[in-house]
């Protein structure tokens, strides 16, 4: 199993450009998440999805859109990039429940380092 | 108010000694979970240990243990017999709501641990 993979690993954009980050997981997880990590801070949730075709806003959703057309993929889009979106982006996934008190930890991808000039 | 507070931006420990990383949390939800993740310099997020709010005993995973004091709302990570490979950023995180719910993880700002030879 590859786990959670993210494409690309690095990207530099100019202000106003658009791009899409791709997250893929092969663990058949129902839930998927997009976080951003800024220097000196923990991760903050941008958007998440509880299943194919559904998405919801997290703590810092402005300036981002997401789509989950297939269970294994979760896309994060920046329509008009701004320097404030310079960050490291992490995708994560987790089970809905496996029962028996399982804690359903989130499994993280390796991250995408995005710089917006 | 901060939901997760990690008051130690940086910690040093001598190899083979034990170290405690502090984490306090704030929630009014009776059902919650507490996680610790390790982030080495390579950037990936590695799940270490979990404590549920209803768990009667402190969680342990190998050299990691979680000192859970519910009344004080603290969930400190204890690493025994530190190794050079333990040098990394450590994040405490909380999920509010029962296990199996698609709730975001709220992260603290992290503690940078350096293990000295």
Residue A98 pLDDT level (bands cut at 50, 70, 90): low
Spatial contact of B107 and B35, defined as CB atoms under 8 Å apart: no
Q: Which of A99, A90, A97 is nearest to A5 (CA)?
A: A90
Q: Are strands A112-116 and A10-13 parallel, antiparallel or unpaired?
A: parallel
Average pLDDT over residues A97-111: 72
pLDDT at A94: 87
* pLDDT confidence tier of residue A2, bands split at 50, 70 and 90: confident
CA atoms of B76 and B36, how far apart (whole Å): 9
pLDDT for A100? 47
Instruction: Look at residue A67 in the predicted model and tell me its pLDDT.
Output: 97
pLDDT confidence of residue B2: 74
The DSSP symbol for A99 reads S
Q: How far is A106 from chain B (nearest CA, A)?
A: 8
Asked if the model's pLDDT at residue B19 lies above 70, the reply is yes
Nearest to B22, CA basis, from B101, B84, B90 = B90
A109, A88 Cβ separation under 8 angstroms: no
Tell me: the pLDDT tens digits for B81-113?
999 999 999 999 998 876 656 667 899 999 999
Q: Which two tokens stand for residue A28?
A: 């058949």
Average pLDDT over residues A34-40: 91
- Cβ contact A104–B99 (<8 Å): yes
Across the A:B interface, residue pairs with CB atoms under 8 Å apart total 67
pLDDT band at A41 (very low <50, low <70, confident <90, very high): confident
Task: Give the best residue of A37, A95, A104, A113 to mutate against chain B (max B CB count within 10 A).
Answer: A104
Chain B residues near residue A41 by CB distance under 8 angstroms: 107, 109-110
Average pLDDT over residues A106-112: 93
């Amino acid at each position: 199993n590859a786990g959670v993979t993210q494409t690309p690993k690095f990207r530099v954009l100019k202000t106003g450009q658009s791009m899409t980050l791709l997250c893929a997981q092969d663990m058949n997880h129902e839930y998927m998440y997009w976080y951003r990590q800024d220097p000196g801070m923990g991760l903050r949730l941008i958007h998440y999805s509880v299943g194919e075709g559904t998405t919801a806003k997290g703590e810092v959703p402005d300036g981002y859109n997401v789509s989950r057309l297939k269970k294994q993929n979760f896309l994060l889009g920046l329509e008009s990039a701004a320097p404030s979106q310079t960050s490291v982006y992490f995708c994560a996934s987790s089970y809905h429940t496996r029962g028996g008190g399982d804690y359903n930890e989130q499994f993280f991808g390796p991250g995408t380092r995005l710089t917006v000039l | 108010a901060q939901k997760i507070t990690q008051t130690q931006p940086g910690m040093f420990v001598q190899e083979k000694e034990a170290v405690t990383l502090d984490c306090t949390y704030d929630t009014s939800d009776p059902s919650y979970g507490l996680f610790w993740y390790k982030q080495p310099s390579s950037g990936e997020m590695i799940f270490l240990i979990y404590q549920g709010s209803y768990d009667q005993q402190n969680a342990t995973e190998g050299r990691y243990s979680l000192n859970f004091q519910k009344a004080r709302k603290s969930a400190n990570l204890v690493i025994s017999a530190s190794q050079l490979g333990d040098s990394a950023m450590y994040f405490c995180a909380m999920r509010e709501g029962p296990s199996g719910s698609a709730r975001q993880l709220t992260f603290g700002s992290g503690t940078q641990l350096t293990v000295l030879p």
